[in-house]
Structure 1
Amino acid sequence: MPATTGAIAARRRTAAAVTNHPRGLIIAAPSTSSGKTTVTLALLAALRRRGRVVQPYKCGPDYIDPAFHAAAAGRPCYNLDSWAFSRGRVAALLQAGSDAELCIAEGVMGLFDGGSDAGAWGHGATADIAAAAGWPVVLVIDVAGQSQSAAAVALGFARYRPDVTVAGVILNNVASSRHETLVRAGFAAHPIPVLGTLARHASQSIKNRHLGLVQAREHAQLTERLEALATLAEQGIDLTALEELAQPSQFDTAATPTFTPPGQRIALASDDAFSFIYPHLLAGWRSAGAEILPFSPLADEAPEDSCDAAWLPGGYPELHAGRLAAASRFMAGLRAFAATRPVHGECGGYMTLGAGLIDADGTRHAMAGLLGLETDFAQRKLHLGYRIATLHAPAAGHPAGTVLRGHEYHYARVLSAADEPLASICDAAGGTTAETGSRRGHVTGTFFHMIDRATELAA
């Protein structure tokens, strides 16, 4: 008697738990803005509707997409990064999917695009993760403005790197049934299967902001949007065929250093202005025994006084600068906390710890004044890329001399930074950056977001 779908799924979960080699695949694309996130969300939501347990991942240094993935899958989404993480760290993170029937990782940029010079063991490209994990790639191709040429693109990607398997394609932005017929005709004589299509549905797109998508927490109708995407996936994609493509991970479980929390009880700023923190850091802190107590600066809440460290993540303080400046209880409580205990800010949090912030309209708002940093969004300047920082003083739970790997992405222009430098910082190519972070008393801050400790470089 044939096994039922539920029985097959149960066997897969059991096998994954025993072997520690979760089954997965990667959703990638030839370039950014091809529809990877839309397709990934549609697949996560549709498979969850099917009753599947799906573990989401995001390749590269992104903190916005994982929040959408988590909402669609009902599980935390973790980043995978060959530039910033050791192989052991990636292997440990993959174990989060050991109890899942399927792991789906969304790529970053184009499949083979990475952060210039090699990092921990790769360039930060999606292809690095695909090759190391042994997970096949499903290529999302935006076919707007082309037809048979889409097959040529897929063939080129399939042949470019022999250790990466392109197992199928999903056609995005299909204009009509005639358009679909023409695109599929290009694949007829080639061994790359078309797993399905998504038609042009502008109403299902998610709006962008200057650092990426508008945050998941800001979408009042996110559940309805995800349900609509699930329906599109069910109608246009062969979900069964896609599930069958998944392969067990080739990563072996390896010992990897634990994350060092900044304190035993951590007051974490968390609201629409402060939400950019990597899920793997929070999970790592909790795994190390730390307790995290969120508070909302936008609701004029101060850090919990029982905590022994405070952390202000990145986010969009520039969009809420007036409210933050007027949040007297938050500001007073933060200053009192910083008088006796460590406070660390990353990017948006760093700017909030500074003296002032000029918004896009040119209005200056007084910030906490715990550091001398003055920033300006009226005349924006892009800062983007991987960073390696060697700490001059203790910060973020790490002693002086520690080497950290991270990523910087912001549009703030620095007008002044009048404090002692926190670190020597260079980019992925080894070039020294002007940004050094700041330190004053118990307060530290950086523009780069910490991803992991660079154990192989530690001083």
Structure 2
Amino acid sequence: MTPGLLIAAPASGSGKTTLALGLARALTRDGLRVQPFKSGPDYIDPAFHTAATGRASVNLDSWAMGPGRLSALAGAGADADLVLAEASMGLFDGVARPGETGNGASADIAARFGWPVLLVLDISGQAQSAAAVAAGFAAFDPRISLAGVVLNKVASPRHEALARVGMEAAGIAVLGALPRAPDLALPERHLGLVQAGETGDLEARLGALADFVAAHADLQAIRAGAAGTLPEDGAAPVTPPGQRIALARDAAFSFAYPHLVQGWRAAGAELLPFSPLADEAPPEAADSCWLPGGYPELHAGRLAAATRFRDGLRRFAETRAVHGECGGYMAMGAALIDAEGTAHEMAGLLGLVTSFAKRRMHLGYRLATLDRPMPGHGAGARLRGHEFHYARVIEQPDPPLARVEDATGAAVPETGSARGRATGTFFHLIAEAEA
């Protein structure tokens, strides 16, 4: 049995990632096998988890994943000493209508595997009142238990002492008190953290976070608070989009969910990575091509100048399937207009024209029913995914790929599109729907 903890908070920006990475690296450095997970639809944090622990981190999502898939993915930690799962947003934040096994709240994941919650509290501007917040979280959902709290952004010893008085009165254990440390913050941009692979001093940053958490948290008490169990087995079949998949992989195309890539390999598929930014065409040995999301808007000029990539992608699509998600979808279109209003020619497999000149955020779960086939899924398949981008659609002349709705059941105008063997969607696929 592998015990675990879910590191959660009342809201985003409270310090979950700081604690999760510092704790994961500190315990790994002490010789523990730490299995990380990320609750919810985040494709950036798992790479940081993997770097901190040396073990692959995957997403666990109660809205998009059925019970068997959750069990199979969580089972990756069966040989670990400790599971550390990082929550998304606030602990109980989810959508109004349930999906496969819950509403997407991180509390669903804690409850399913019996992982107590290690609650991170940003106590800026409060002291004893923080205990009322913690007590409310401890009592709100009878399915979960609170291992204790870690106080964050502590201003002084007096501030910490007052907060501890409140927690003691509420019967809540304080397992750490982290002082304000703005120098430890990881760099960010418009879709979240700058990716792990682009953070050149990542090892130094992880070491500093580990030192910081080890100095200000009780690692032994935190380990003692872990509980729960992992399933011994579970079914999580994933249909790959081909037998030999040309997978775009560089700074512009990196948002591929780890569990999907692992699932393709487990199903026997071979991945053939290539870099559009290096002006590489999809490998000829591949029988399908997959362009993940990422940051094409930050590299639009280079992509427009990458003629070998664009010509090779067009030739590839004459005989084999090409699919793009979000940024990959935009790169398959006719043009991408950057934040300065300059239009850049893209591959032209689809007529899509997108613009970042006037940004608009699109965010949320998506349930798509395919009107046309896409790699790995036939017409009529129901797919669960998540959309998060700031692009505006200027033109979308091709037939829609799917009927898409949000988590409330409302129709979404971003339907994806299809032309010949080329397909694309704005949402990132998480799993085929079961319910």
Query: How do residues 341-360 of structure 1 correspond to structure 2 at under 5 angstroms?
Result: 341-360=320-339
Q: Which residue of the other structure, out of 213, 225, 230, is the alignment partner of 2:210? A: 230
Output the amino acid matched with 1:67. A
Work out which of the residue numbers 310, 318, 340 in structure 2 matches 1:361.
340
The equivalent of 1:314 in structure 2 is 293
Contact 1:387/1:405 (CA < 8 Å) preserved in 2?
A: yes
Structure 2 gaps, min length 5: none
Matching residue's letter, 1:382: M
Partners of 2:239 and 2:415 in 1: how far apart?
Answer: 22
Residues 243-300 of structure 1: CA distance to partner in whole angstroms, max 9, x if unpaired?
A: 111113265634x341000001111101110100100000100000001111111111
Partner AA of 1:311 in structure 2: W
Question: Hey, what does 1:335 align to over in structure 2?
Answer: 314
Q: d(CA) in 2 for partners of 1:257 and 1:88?
A: 6
SS of the counterpart of 2:423? strand
Query: Could you tell me the TM-score, scaled by structure 2's length?
Result: 0.98
Who is 1:179 aligned against?
A: 159
**C-alpha displacement of 1:378:** 0.5
Gap change, CA 1:451 and 1:190, over 3 Å in 2? same
SS at match of 1:455: coil
Q: Which amino acid aligns with 1:361?
A: E
Letter in 2 for 1:261: P
Residue in structure 2 matched with residue 269 of structure 1 by the alignment: 248
Q: Does 1:191 align with 2:171?
A: yes
SS in 1 for 2:161: helix
SS in 1 for 2:431: strand
For the 8 Å contact 2:367–2:383, the answer to whether it is kept is yes
| Structure 1 unaligned blocks of 5 or more | 1-15, 17-21
Task: Read off the aligned partner of 2:366 and give its amino acid letter.
Answer: R
Q: Distance in 2 between matches of 1:396 and 1:141?
A: 44
Q: How far apart are the structure 2 equivalents of 1:253 and 1:244?
A: 26
Does the Cα contact within 8 Å between 1:132 and 1:251 map onto a contact in 2?
A: no
The offset of 1:192, in angstroms, is 1.3
The one-letter code sitting in structure 2 at the alignment partner of 1:186 is: G
**Amino acid of the residue matched to residue 95 of structure 1?**
G
1:452 matches 2:434: no
Given that residues 273 and 315 in structure 1 are in contact (C-alpha distance below 8 angstroms), is that contact kept between their aligned partners in structure 2?
yes
Q: Distance in 2 between matches of 1:227 and 1:354?
A: 42
Separation in 2 of the partners of 1:440 and 1:250?
44
| CA offsets 1:320-376 (integer angstroms, 9 cap, x no match) | 000010011111111111111000000000000000000001110000000000000
CA distance in 1, matches of 2:271, 2:412: 32
Change (3 A) 1:403 1:46: same
Distance 2:430 2:120 in 1: 27
Matched to 1:62, the amino acid is D
Per-residue CA deviation, residues 41-70 of structure 1 (Å, 9 max, x unaligned), is: 111110111011101000000001111111
Aligned residues: 435
Equivalent residues of 1:261, 1:290 under 8 A apart: yes
In the alignment, the residues of structure 2 paired with residue 44 and residue 116 of structure 1 have an alpha-carbon distance, to the nearest angstrom, of 32
Aligned to 2:266: 287
Q: 1:100 aligns with which of 80, 97, 102?
A: 80
Q: CA RMSD in A?
A: 1.0
Specify the alignment match of 2:392 in structure 1.
Answer: 413
TM-superposition CA deviations, 1:60-107 (whole Å, max 9, x none): 000011111111111111101110000111100111001110010000
SS in 2 for 1:418: coil
Counterpart contact for 1:52–1:101, Cα < 8 Å: yes
Question: Quick one: distance in 2 between partners of 1:233 and 1:178?
Answer: 20
Task: Give 1:189's aligned amino acid.
Answer: A
SS of structure 2 residue aligned to 1:339: helix
Instruction: Show CA shifts across 1:165-218 (max 9, x none).
Output: 111000111112121111111112232110012111111101221111111111
Match of 1:372 among 345, 351, 370: 351
Within the alignment, does 1:139 sit opposite 2:119 as a pair? yes
Moved over 6 A (4+): none
One-letter amino acid of the counterpart of residue 243, structure 1: R
Aligned residue identity for 1:429 = T
Structure 1, 421-430 or 256-265: larger mean CA deviation: 256-265
- Residue 198 of structure 2: which of 215, 218, 229 is its match? 218
Residue of structure 1 aligned with 2:361, choices 357, 373, 382: 382
1:326 to 294, 305, 312: 305
Distance (Å, rounded) in 2 between the aligned partners of 1:131 and 1:432: 31
The corresponding residue for 1:86 is 66
Letter in 1 for 2:332: L
Contact 2:370 2:401 in 1 (8 A): yes
SS at match of 1:189: helix
Match among 148, 151, 162 for residue 168 of structure 1: 148
Residue 48 of structure 1: aligned partner = 28
Contact 2:147 2:226 in 1 (8 A): no
Query: Is the aligned partner of 1:424 residue 2:407?
Result: no
CA distance in 1, matches of 2:284, 2:172: 59
Per-residue CA deviations over 1:299-336 (Å, capped at 9, x if unaligned) read 11111110001100000000000001001111111111
What amino acid maps onto 1:29 in structure 2?
A: A
